[in-house]
């Protein structure tokens, strides 16, 4: 009986460790996929007003929780790609 309890205790510790790893992984995924408005402004070197304009014009999707805005990094990348312009070739006047 004592051995069964020790085995059960060891298995519970292992399960607890696995759950801890899964929680950490989920938090890491969140941190890797979403950033708040302050991080967006610092990273892109834009003002609060510019960020608001991007939201208002629906150029940048967002999530709002208790007045705080969150943005997917992939949406920021898409915004940059959509607005990417290759330099035009200079006119040749020969």
Q: What is the model's pTM?
A: 0.63
Tell me the per-residue pLDDT of 31-76, one tens digit each, with 9 for 90 and over: 778 999 999 999 999 999 999 999 999 999 999 999 999 999 999 9
**Chain centroid to CA 2:** 48
DSSP annotation string for 12-33? HHHHHHHHHHHHHHHHHHHHHH
> What pLDDT score does 43 carry?
93
> What pLDDT score does 39 carry?
94
Domain ranges of the chain: 2-82
- Angle, helix 37-44 to helix 73-82, in steps of 10 degrees: 40
Reply yes or no on whether the pLDDT at 26 is more than 80: no
Reply yes or no on whether the pLDDT at 94 is more than 70: no
């Amino acid at each position: 009986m004592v051995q069964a309890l020790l085995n059960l205790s060891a298995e519970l510790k292992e399960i607890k460790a696995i759950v801890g790893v899964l929680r950490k992984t989920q938090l890491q995924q969140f941190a890797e996929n979403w950033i708040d408005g302050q991080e967006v402004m610092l990273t892109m070197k834009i003002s609060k007003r510019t960020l608001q304009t991007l939201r208002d014009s629906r150029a940048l999707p967002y999530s709002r929780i208790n007045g705080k805005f969150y943005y997917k990094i992939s949406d920021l990348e898409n915004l940059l790609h959509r607005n990417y312009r290759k330099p035009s070739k200079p006119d040749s006047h020969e």
